[in-house]
Structure 1
Amino acid sequence: MSESPRKSIHVLHAWSESQEVLTNTQMLSPRGARKRVKVKKKKRKQRQGEQRSVSDPQLRSGGGDHARKETKYKADEPIVRGIFQIEKKSHDVVLTATRVTWTPIEPETPTAEHDVKKQEEYVELQDVFAVKVKRRRSAGQQTGGTLLGITLFYCKKKGLKLKDHTIHLNNLSADHCEIWFKTLKEILNGFKNRPKSLKVFINPSSHKKEAYKIYLDEVAPLFKLADIQADVTVTERKGHALSILKDCILEDYDGVVCVGGDGSVAEVAHGLLLRAQMDAGRDTDSIFTPVQAALPLGIIPAGSTDVVACSVYGIRHVVTAAMHIIMGSRQSVDVCSFSSMGRLVRFGFSAMFGFGGRTLALAEKHRWMPPSQRREFALIKTLANLKPEDCELSFITSTRNEDQRFAKEHSLRDEQNSDREDICEDDSWQTRRGLYLNVSIMAIPCLCSMAPRGLAPNTRLNNGSMALIAVGNTSRSEFIKHLKRYSSTNNQFSFSFIETHTVKTVRLRPHSQGIWADDITEEHEESDSKTTPIISSEGMHPWNIDGDLLEIPSELLIRVHPHLLTLFGGDVEEAEEAPVKCSCI
């Protein structure tokens, strides 16, 4: 008799649980009721596993080319599952090691209208850069507030542009949201290529003096969302960033960011590479072997042309540049070394001698003018006084197969095996002596809005070679035709007076002393510009190196170094922006 009451209690509990199930499923079809019971059992087991997974320190995840730690979960194995409201509709949301998937929950009742089910949607975790708890706060309230759910911030690509988007997962359960938040944060922290601390240089004088505002309004909020600590320096003078990079502790940062134009980018790139040579104890003579920079460089375009940014991002777009930095996408690039009189002058990406150098020199002498007016004035004035340069041009060519071999050997070479990169005896120099209106040497395509195909369309970011473009002496009208073709789809080099070469070393030795266009007298202006070179006693030759004016007293040796610098970004073919024609030509 003692067993009977206890037995009755067990039967009563069983009947009670069955009634609860029937109550919860009374509006469902029989098939739906069975499904709901199975789902409940499955979720109960799943929650037990989830509690273990959140505390598991081995949980790391990633995707694409990013580093990812091994986990005990398969790529498609659910880690966390729950119900959230997305755009005011309930969704079944599943988190795996690689993506978040959500599917709308459709009612199953005998009287319900059977709408066509929406297909499941998802976002790859390699595209997610931040997760935040979503709360409703009153005006002026800084902390606390009513819990609404969690928000995912992810990067979406449209053409060449990258933009930030959000997914709001609404759920009022604090425990539920905490599990999802911690799990997502732990997975996102597994992407090791993404920077967490950056050294940022801002040139406040760049272009229209909007660089600082661009950073505060468009870049800083994205860095904050991605939990990136930014150590910001607003440069006060030319060479300020270079002096800081020589002495700062680089180990404190995961990368360096430059907000400015091509001149600012060139200074920071030179500073990173020069610091690498100092740390390696390299003697920077004319034929030394440089070592790679320790940190990647990110570029936020805030200049007038931004050829480096356009070459690596494919577009002049601030948010795209910021997203490349946040997501940690990286691209190795070739860099040139410029040496004179046996010593390194600087590192850079491109150089122009003749028309390009004299135009910049004239513009620098009129910096009191607005940037656009200054550039057009210098261009018109230099074209009006167009004169050739008498120089000796020597170079060593590089075939496509040699480019690939040279780049591969350089990437595999141990930095300590050799301190010098002697020019091989087998490499034969080719020499030209004559009058040249302009000579360009470029290691990157130099894309920009005024030249959507690039100033050097026949080279790439990391093919281990440079493009040599030598424009011989010709009439002013023919030279202007050549310049106009940069903004069109026509071949700008299909002229008899232009020769192009794929090279790995260039030496240019001027035989006349160049003077600036506004120093030419009226008597010179009336002389025959086709055969009379510019003569001056100043003894200095203006070079345009990455938008910076450098005056070199003698010959300049330019060599390419494959994969010497890493940039945040990717390799692109050409800029997406519409061509911008110069109004003066």
Structure 2
Amino acid sequence: MTQFTEEEEGQFIGSQRVHDKTNSIADGILDDHIVHECDIALNNFEIKKKRYRVLLNRYHVIWQRSDIKHKVKNESTNERTARTSLQKENEHEKEKIGNQTKYDDGSNVLHLQDVFRITKGPTKAACLRSALQVFDSDSIESDAEQQSSDSINTSDKYLMIHYAERIISSPTDCNRWQVQHLTLHNSDPYIIGKWHDQLQNRLLSSPRKRLKRLLVFINPYGGRKMALQIYERCCKPIIQLAGIDASCIITQRANQIRDILIGHDLKPYDAVCCVGGDGTVAEMINGLIWRSIRDHGMNPRQPDWIPKPSLPIGIIPAGSTDTIAYSLHGTSDVQTATIHLVLGQSKGLDVCSVRNCDGILRFCTSVMGYGYLGDVAAKSEKYRWMGTKRYEYTGVKAFLLNRGYEAEVHLLLDEDDEIDKVNTTCSVNCSRCQSNKEKDITADKPSSSNASLYKDNIETCHPPDNCDKPNDFYTSPEKASPQLIRSDRVSSNKWRIIRGDFFMITGANITCACTRSPNGISRYCHLGDGYLDLVLVRKTNLLNNIRFVINTMGRNGDIRNLPFVEIYRTRQFTFKAKMNAHSQDYNSVRGSCQPIAISGISEDGVSNTDSEFFSSWNCDGEVIASSIN
């Protein structure tokens, strides 16, 4: 804590009040900002051999040139847009803090929540070496005490702040983040030591929980088969810089991640992370949910409710499309995903259960597809030697075949929900997702039961005999379990039945955006609103399919404008294929006459995709299997 002189006060504009009477009023960097029950520090430092005045308060580090009058930097249109987006993201945090912070345009502001390491030393190189040292489990616990004990070192003249910064100058992708270093030089070791202690204390008292121990799964076979190299080159240095003890497991077989998460002790870890594609992410999420169900002593196939996993999940994209990471981060950049992980930034994500009459088969995190997507997933299995090209090859073949599949879809609609009728994109501090989160907090159980899949409930969805046209709709009152839909909304929920010949049936839990498709298959789908978007693409001609692909891949495209595409927002849907009119056939998710077999192979040894009448279900890039171990 430093007291200000009258000469120092004259170099500032504005004022700041502090509860401690020993602190003076500082003008210029802050404007009408009140710091409650927190000391501030103000000193002169050298940054890149230029003299700066640096101020530390409870939430920010602010530095401003002290020798010349700072001029406002001319920003491009893209930089102004990105900076405006950053300001909106900080509004929610400022409301929680209770302070409306305003800084002078000539000031550089760093939020302490973006800082993940503080080091000091006699030289810049010493600061970097200290930051890159490898931690073990014991040193993490005692690191703060050790650094505090030797905080006053007569040789320390440099203080280095390691933080994350958004790349706002990027012309195409302003969602990427990078690691930056702010080096402060002062010839007084006492000042360096005090600033180091102040910054460390603020980081330790941050409301956002930082990770100490992390369990990392690396899938070396998925996607581009570069997961191990990606982790070593891009992720590991940042994780070490943040002082996180990471235990890595390189997977060797399918479902190994799921088996480890179900059977091993996870108490030593603060979070789990995977380096791989969407299939690896889905396997990790499924394993954590199965583990939570088992820990609550429930039947995994027919649980009374689905508990929330006890550990947060980190996602490092290293797959073919990486739609989950792209939808969460707005980019598939590996460094950005790692930065979000080490900073403890979290975002809620809906998870769907896939069931038949016997119970839950698995959980879906991104997309379920029948028809085109199912054919691509099933047929690409025998071309795994082609790597990521196998999806392009089988995708083109299935696209040119232009197969249609007759099916009947039962979906649950809430016709009285005005919010669902407004097309809004999901963003940081999304009001729609936040509203659903608040409702879930008040609910007794955060999930659903199996009642909606039993015979008595399905029979209420059958249409009348004269409903034989493919586009006819039939609605009936909702009689499902109140655990599926909140009791205050049951009266407005109705089942709707849609029949037809479909090129593709897709249940999108997220936008499914990726580098090739920036808006995804459903650009208005939200991450945590409790709904999924059911996209029905009717079978037409090849030209319309091309129109669909163009609208999906273009930044300004919107498939909702296509006449052969229907999108419904629903909490639940069931599916029946042609020649499957009896309710007992619901033991198969794909609705065929034969139950689903592992890896898309039926009980008679014939591939499911060999039939011209039935397709396969693609769930998170994998063909749905009939059972779990």
Fold match by TM threshold 0.5: yes
Q: Which residue of 1 aligns with 2:617?
A: 543
1:328 Cα offset (Å) = 1.6
Q: Secondary structure at the match of 1:365?
A: helix
Query: Contact 2:294 / 2:300 at 8 angstroms: preserved in 1?
Result: no
Q: Which residue of 2 aligns with 1:176?
A: 191
Give the fraction of aligned pairs with identical amino acids, expressed as a percent: 26
RMSD across aligned positions (CA): 3.6
Q: Distance in 2 between matches of 1:447 and 1:117?
A: 41
Q: Distance in 2 between matches of 1:249 and 1:534?
A: 40
Q: Secondary structure at the match of 2:494?
A: coil
Q: Distance in 2 between matches of 1:438 and 1:510?
A: 13
Counterpart selection for 1:90 from 48, 51, 59: 51
Q: TM-score, normalised by structure 1?
A: 0.71
Q: Distance in 1 between matches of 2:347 and 2:361?
A: 25
1:37 Cα offset (Å) = 13
Query: Contact 1:339 / 1:345 at 8 angstroms: preserved in 2?
Result: yes
Mark the CA change 1:534 to 1:323 in structure 2 (over 3 Å): closer, same or farther: closer
1:541 Cα offset (Å) = 5.0
Matches within 5 A, 1:166-315: 166-191=181-206, 192-285=208-301, 288-315=304-331
Partner letter of residue 306 of structure 1? D
1:368 aligns with 2:411: no
Mark the CA change 1:105 to 1:392 in structure 2 (over 3 Å): closer, same or farther: closer
Higher RCO (Cα < 8 Å, 6 or more apart): 1
1:428 aligns with 2:494: yes
Q: Distance in 1 between matches of 2:178 and 2:211?
A: 18
Q: Which residue of 2 aligns with 1:411?
A: 441
Q: Distance in 1 between matches of 2:231 and 2:6?
A: 56
Q: Distance in 2 between matches of 1:340 and 1:389?
A: 20
Q: Which residue of 2 aligns with 1:484?
A: 550
Query: 1:461-497: per-residue Cα shift (whole Å, max 9, x none)?
Result: 1121111111222223322322222112232243333
Q: Distance in 2 between matches of 1:160 and 1:116?
A: 32
Q: Secondary structure at the match of 2:374?
A: helix
Q: Which residue of 1 aligns with 2:114?
A: 127
Mark the CA change 1:389 to 1:287 in structure 2 (over 3 Å): closer, same or farther: farther
Partner letter of residue 472 of structure 1? R
Mark the CA change 1:146 to 1:549 in structure 2 (over 3 Å): closer, same or farther: farther
Q: Distance in 2 between matches of 1:175 and 1:541?
A: 71
1:80 aligns with 2:80: no
Q: Which residue of 1 aligns with 2:521?
A: 455
Query: Contact 2:378 / 2:609 at 8 angstroms: preserved in 1?
Result: no
Partner letter of residue 177 of structure 2? L
Q: Distance in 2 between matches of 1:351 and 1:382?
A: 17
1:394 Cα offset (Å) = 1.2
Q: Distance in 1 between matches of 2:323 and 2:618?
A: 14
Query: 1:431-461: per-residue Cα shift (whole Å, max 9, x none)?
Result: 2333222100011111112221111123211
1:177 Cα offset (Å) = 2.1
Query: 1:169-208: per-residue Cα shift (whole Å, max 9, x none)?
Result: 1134433322221221121111242222211111111222
1:105 Cα offset (Å) = 4.1
Q: TM-score, normalised by structure 2?
A: 0.67
Q: Distance in 1 between matches of 2:361 and 2:308?
A: 17
Q: Distance in 1 between matches of 2:506 and 2:194?
A: 58
1:514 Cα offset (Å) = 10
1:551 Cα offset (Å) = 4.5
Counterpart selection for 1:475 from 525, 541, 554: 541
Partner letter of residue 272 of structure 1? L
Query: 1:363-415: per-residue Cα shift (whole Å, max 9, x none)?
Result: 1111112322x122101221233322222211111344586786643332233
1:135 Cα offset (Å) = 4.2
Query: Contact 2:405 / 2:614 at 8 angstroms: preserved in 1?
Result: no
Query: Contact 2:413 / 2:570 at 8 angstroms: preserved in 1?
Result: yes
Q: Distance in 1 between matches of 2:198 and 2:61?
A: 12
Query: Contact 2:550 / 2:557 at 8 angstroms: preserved in 1?
Result: no
Partner letter of residue 574 of structure 2? R
Greater strand share, structure number: 1
Partner letter of residue 260 of structure 1? G
Query: Contact 2:276 / 2:319 at 8 angstroms: preserved in 1?
Result: yes
Counterpart selection for 1:151 from 150, 153, 160: 160
Matches within 5 A, 1:35-46: 35=7
1:265 Cα offset (Å) = 0.7
Partner letter of residue 203 of structure 2? L
1:287 Cα offset (Å) = 7.7
Q: Distance in 2 between matches of 1:37 and 1:333?
A: 49
Mark the CA change 1:393 to 1:287 in structure 2 (over 3 Å): closer, same or farther: farther
Counterpart selection for 2:61 from 100, 116, 123: 100
Q: Distance in 2 between matches of 1:503 and 1:409?
A: 17
Larger radius of gyration: 1
Q: Distance in 1 between matches of 2:8 and 2:401?
A: 85
Q: Which runs of 5+ in 1 are unaligned?
A: 1-32, 40-48, 51-72, 107-114, 520-532, 554-585
Query: 1:283-330: per-residue Cα shift (whole Å, max 9, x none)?
Result: 344684211111111111111111111111111111111111122221
Counterpart selection for 2:347 from 331, 335, 343: 331
Partner letter of residue 624 of structure 2? L
Q: Distance in 2 between matches of 1:295 and 1:215?
A: 21
Q: Which residue of 1 aligns with 2:370?
A: 353
Query: Contact 2:216 / 2:247 at 8 angstroms: preserved in 1?
Result: yes
Q: Which residue of 2 aligns with 1:64?
A: none
Q: How many residues align?
A: 465
**346-355 or 151-160, which deviates more:** 151-160
Query: Contact 1:387 / 1:534 at 8 angstroms: preserved in 2?
Result: no
Mark the CA change 1:129 to 1:34 in structure 2 (over 3 Å): closer, same or farther: closer
Mark the CA change 1:550 to 1:473 in structure 2 (over 3 Å): closer, same or farther: same
Q: Distance in 1 between matches of 2:318 and 2:47?
A: 37
**344-353 or 428-437, which deviates more:** 428-437
Q: Distance in 2 between matches of 1:337 and 1:34?
A: 66
